[in-house]
Amino acid sequence: MDNALLLQPLVALIAGILILIMPRLLNYVVAIYLIVVGILGLWPQLATLGG
């Protein structure tokens, strides 16, 4: 679980830098972030449905 605590701020930092460099990238960064967070949030429920 320590990796998840380290990964989130690192991803936010990289995304923030990329958005500063290329502002049009904001839509893609937000969309990808929301999709990943949604999948990770649903993963425990999806895993129990399959087995």
Q: Give the integer Cα–Cα distance in Å for 43 and 49.
A: 10
Separation of alpha carbons 40 and 5, rounded Å: 14
* Spans in the chain with pLDDT lower than 50: none
Predicted model pTM? 0.55
pLDDT of residue 2: 63
Q: How far apart are CA 35 and CA 37, in angstroms?
A: 6
Q: What is d(CA 36, CA 28) in angstroms, rounded to the nearest whole number?
A: 12
| 30-41 per-position pLDDT tens digit | 888 888 888 888
- Closest Cα partner for 33 from 45, 44, 49, 18? 18
